[in-house]
Structure formats: C-alpha cells, structure tokens
C-alpha cells in the first residue's frame, strides 16, 4: 500500500514538474517572431516520418547512426514497457500483461532485452567517443563545461537504467525458477537475456535477497526514467522530443532561397514609386514602431529559430562540415545554436523574474556571438544540409548580419565598396553598366 502511495506521488510529481518546465520552454519559443509554417501538411508529415522517426539524415554518417539507432529503438520499445510499470505501480500487480498477452509479452520483453544489450554497447561506444577517442568535434571550446558534462550525464544515466532493467528481469527470472516470483507458478519467463544471466548472476542468492534486487531494479528503473524525463528540459537531450515538431516545421523551400524582408520591400517600393507622396498623412491606425531590420537578440528571431535552439543535441555535424570552421575560423554553427538557446533561457528567466519589459542590456549579438563569427560564413548551407533534425543555423547568421549592416552600418570595409558599386553601377565591381556587353566584341 505504502509503495503504491509513494509511486503515485512520484508519478504525479514526475509528470507535473516536466509539464511545468515544458510550458516554460513553450513560452520562450513563442517569444520569437511569427512565421507561417502551417502549409503543406502532407509534405510536413512525410518529412517528420523520414527525418525524425526514420532517422534518414543520421545515416549520412553510417557508424554513429547505427549506434544511435540502437539507443533510439531501445528507447521506443522500452517506453511501451513503461505502461506496464505504471499499471503495476499503481495497482500493486506484478507483470500485469504477463498472463494477458502470453507469447506476445515474451516476444516484446525479448525485443526489449536484446535492444537493451545493443543500447548498452552503443552507450559505451558513445562514452568512448567523447572521453577516450576524443573525437575532435566534442573537444571544441563551445563544449567546455556544462555541455560536456551534460553529454556524459545522459550516457551515465542510460547505463544505470540498463543495469536496473537487467537486475529486475534477472532477479525475477531467478525467483520464478524457484517458484517465488509474484507471478503464479514456477519456471522460466523465456526472456532471452535474463534466462541466460540468471544462472550466472542471480541463482546463488537467497530468495529474500532476490526479492530485494528485483525491487531495487524495478524502482531504480522507474526513478531513472522520471529523473531522465525531468532532466530533458534542461539538457541537450531534449532533442528526443523536439526532433518531431522541429522536423515537421522544417523550411520546405530550396535551401538557397533566403527570405525577403517585407518591411524593406515596402520602403523600397515607395522609393521607386514616382506617384508616392512622402508628405501624405501617416496612417494613424498604423503608428506602431517598425520592426528592427534583422536580429540583434533572440526576440528578433522567428519562433522556428528558437525551436531549433531547443532541438539541438550538440552533435557537431554542422560544425564539422562548415568550411569556415574546417579552415580554422572562429565560426561554429553549433555554437550559434547553443548561444541562441543560452540567451533565450536567460531572457526567459529575466522575464519570469522581472516582467516582460525587463532588459538586461545584453544581446545575442555582441555578448554571445561576435561579429567575427558571423562574417566568416560563406552561406554554403553545409550546416543546414548536415543537421539530422533540420536545424537552420544559416538563417540566424544572416539575420544577425542584416542587423549589423542595416541598423548599425557595421560591415567589413571591402564590402562597403562592393555595395556602393552595386548601387552605383549595378555590379559588385567598379565597371560601367554600359560596358556589360563589351565581352561580345572582344
């Protein structure tokens, strides 16, 4: 009875706190500017199925994709077992589906056990990649401190979780063999891994010890699951949830198509319209301040840019494909996204503490991202192409450039000349427009 009560409290608190943090993140994302991504629903679902559920872009790099797949599929299957754990926890039953599902149950647990072994191996490989092999993309400066610890915490939690699963099943198998399991009768569960491990690791224990081990495994499992769930909103690991909405709301246009700024279009159209009357009275219904050109801070980005930031799992594929980063420049697309999330979290905290109008006189551009970084970008779209969950660092970089150039007139001096030439003679170089066809006579 007590255990059922404790379980109910854990369940309520586990989901409650998670929901609370999710609503905070939702609010933060909605700080972003509007952007219509509600079109082409069929294509969006297809993208989600292929990219998020189907992991298509992960397989651009085969080996990490395979190990990632082990953990991912194990996660999907183990999640179904949670249903039973919750029923057992709330009602005091033991293996609720054991006699109801029969051989399907055995098949399902077998799948979970096999996948858990694969996930265990994959977790060790990932720990090795980060800590022993020191894969370069995990050693870059933006990974120092919390991001590095975050990555390892998740992997350690996974190890604990998997050990709990095997302790639970192994001890229960041993109990069942001795006829002492909470499941009626005696025999083997026929779970492929635990029927193998029970004789080696568990049969030598007393029944009371086994009962304790089984409970430790069971409680450990569910507690780690809830710890994990509530760790997600604070971690890069949030991608396991965000991958789905983020791919659904992907940019479906060609990657080369940069958005046109409507505010600029209106201004320029007026400039070019000979019938436009600059002295005409300003529409009094429309006296709000015009939007800032480009982005200085996260509030100037779209909600999709901000969703991108919460989706990033800091894998670094973008950065390892970035020509600027490869050749030693300061730019790292991963850092652009991580900075956006860090700054957004900061603004969210400020707003909750001091109200929505509070400013801390800091900004994404300047305090987090430097001009040197954004000017190193060649707009080649390699980062966008690489991202396994369709994050778009390039659109943030371009919006930061737009702010610098159009609001602050800060631009590398050579580019000033290029722009003047375009305005004066319709070419980035100083050649007269009337000479555009001279090549034909040469």
Partner 1 sequence: MNKLKVPTVAEMLANNERPDILFWVGCAGSFDDRAKKITKAIVKILNYCNIKFAVLGPEESCTGDPAKRAGNEFAFMMQAIQNIELLKGYNIQKIVTGCPHCFNTLKNEYPDLGADFEVVHHTQLINQLIREGRLLLKGGGSFEGKKITFHDPCYLGRANQVYEAPREVLKKLDSELSEMKRSKANGLCCGAGGAQMFKEAEKGNKEINIERTQDAIEVNPDYIATGCPFCNTMMTDGVKHFEKEEKIKVLDIAELIANAADL
- Give the binding site for partner 1 (CB under 8 A): 60, 253-258, 260-261, 264-265, 267-269, 271-272, 293-294, 321, 323-324, 326-331, 372, 375-382, 384-385, 398, 401-406, 411-412, 414-415, 417-419, 422-423, 426-429, 431, 433-440, 442
Q: C-alpha 2: how far from its chain's center?
A: 38
**With contact defined as beta carbons under 8 Å apart, do 307 and 37 qualify?**
no
Pick between residue 175 and residue 383 the one whose CB is nearest to partner 1. Answer: 383
The torsion angles phi and psi of 239, rounded to 5 degrees, stand at -60, -25
Pick between residue 137 and residue 402 the one whose CB is nearest to partner 1. Answer: 402
Pick between residue 57 and residue 239 the one whose CB is nearest to partner 1. Answer: 57
According to DSSP, the residues that pair with 369 across neighbouring strands are 365
| Shortest distance (Å) from residue 322 CB to partner 1 | 9
d(CA 216, CA 157): 16
d(CA 18, CA 23): 9
| Shortest distance (Å) from residue 253 CB to partner 1 | 7
The helix/strand count (H/E) of the chain reads as 19, 0
Pick between residue 14 and residue 388 the one whose CB is nearest to partner 1. Answer: 388
According to DSSP, the residues that pair with 392 across neighbouring strands are none
d(CA 242, CA 246): 6
CB burial readout 431-441, b (16+ within 10 A) else e: eeeeeeeeeee
| Shortest distance (Å) from residue 415 CB to partner 1 | 5
Separation of first and last alpha carbons in the chain: 95
| Shortest distance (Å) from residue 276 CB to partner 1 | 13
| Shortest distance (Å) from residue 237 CB to partner 1 | 27
| Shortest distance (Å) from residue 277 CB to partner 1 | 19
Pick between residue 61 and residue 215 the one whose CB is nearest to partner 1. Answer: 61
**With contact defined as beta carbons under 8 Å apart, do 158 and 231 qualify?**
no
Query: In the chain, what is the greatest distance between 2 CA atoms, to the nearest angstrom?
Result: 99
Pick between residue 225 and residue 369 the one whose CB is nearest to partner 1. Answer: 369
Pick between residue 349 and residue 436 the one whose CB is nearest to partner 1. Answer: 436
Pick between residue 216 and residue 398 the one whose CB is nearest to partner 1. Answer: 398
| Shortest distance (Å) from residue 418 CB to partner 1 | 4
| Structure token digits, residue 21 | 């943090």
| Shortest distance (Å) from residue 343 CB to partner 1 | 20
Pick between residue 117 and residue 140 the one whose CB is nearest to partner 1. Answer: 140
194's CB contacts (< 8 A; 6+ apart) are: 113, 166, 169, 170, 172, 173
CA 125 → CA 128, 145, 201, distances in Å?
Answer: 5, 21, 24
Pick between residue 50 and residue 76 the one whose CB is nearest to partner 1. Answer: 50
For the chain, helix, strand, coil in percent to 5 are 70, 0, 30
| Shortest distance (Å) from residue 311 CB to partner 1 | 21
Query: How many CA atoms does the CB half-sphere of 245 hold within 13 Å?
Result: 16
| Shortest distance (Å) from residue 279 CB to partner 1 | 22
User: Hey, what's the torsion of the CAs at 280, 281, 287, 292, to 10 degrees?
Assistant: 20
């Amino acid at each position: 009875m007590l255990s059922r009560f404790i379980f109910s409290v854990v369940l309520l608190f586990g989901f409650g706190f998670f929901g609370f943090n999710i609503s905070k993140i939702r609010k933060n994302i909605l700080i972003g500017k509007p952007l219509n991504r509600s079109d082409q629903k069929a294509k969006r679902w297809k993208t989600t199925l292929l990219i998020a559920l189907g992991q298509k872009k992960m397989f651009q790099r085969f080996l990490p994709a395979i190990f990632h797949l082990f953990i991912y599929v194990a996660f999907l299957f183990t999640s179904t077992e949670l249903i039973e754990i919750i029923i057992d926890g709330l009602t005091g039953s033991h293996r609720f589906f054991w006699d109801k599902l029969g051989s399907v149950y055995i098949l399902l647990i077998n799948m979970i056990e096999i996948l858990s072994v694969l996930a265990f191996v994959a977790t060790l490989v990932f720990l090795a990649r980060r800590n022993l092999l020191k894969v370069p993309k995990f050693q870059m400066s933006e990974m120092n401190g919390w991001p590095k610890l975050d990555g390892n915490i998740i992997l350690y939690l996974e190890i604990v979780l998997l050990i709990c699963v095997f302790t639970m099943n192994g001890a229960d198998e041993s109990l069942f063999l001795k006829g002492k399991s909470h499941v009626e009768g005696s025999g083997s569960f026929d779970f492929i891994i635990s029927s193998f491990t029970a004789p080696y690791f568990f049969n030598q224990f007393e029944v009371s010890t086994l009962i304790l081990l089984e409970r430790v495994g069971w409680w450990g499992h569910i507690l780690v699951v809830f710890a994990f769930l509530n760790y997600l909103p604070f971690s890069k690991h949030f991608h396991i949830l965000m991958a789905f909405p983020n791919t659904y709301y992907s940019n479906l246009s060609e990657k080369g198509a940069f958005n046109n700024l409507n505010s600029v279009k209106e201004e320029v159209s007026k400039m070019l319209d000979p019938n436009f009357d600059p002295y005409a009275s300003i529409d009094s219904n429309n006296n709000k301040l015009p939007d800032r050109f480009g982005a200085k801070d996260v509030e100037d980005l779209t909600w999709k840019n901000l969703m991108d930031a919460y989706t990033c799992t800091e894998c670094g594929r973008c950065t390892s494909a970035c020509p600027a980063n490869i050749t030693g420049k300061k730019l790292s697309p991963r850092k652009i996204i991580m900075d956006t999330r860090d700054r957004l979290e900061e603004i969210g905290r400020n707003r909750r503490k001091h109200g929505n109008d509070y400013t801390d006189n800091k900004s994404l551009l300047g305090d987090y991202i430097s001009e040197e970084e954004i000017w190193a970008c060649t707009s080649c779209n390699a980062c966008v192409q690489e991202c396994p969950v369709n994050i778009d660092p390039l659109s943030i970089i371009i919006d930061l450039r737009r702010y610098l150039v159009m609001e602050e007139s800060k631009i590398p001096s050579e580019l000033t000349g290029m722009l003047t030439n375009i305005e004066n003679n319709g070419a980035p170089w100083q050649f007269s427009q009337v000479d555009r066809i001279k090549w034909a006579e040469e």
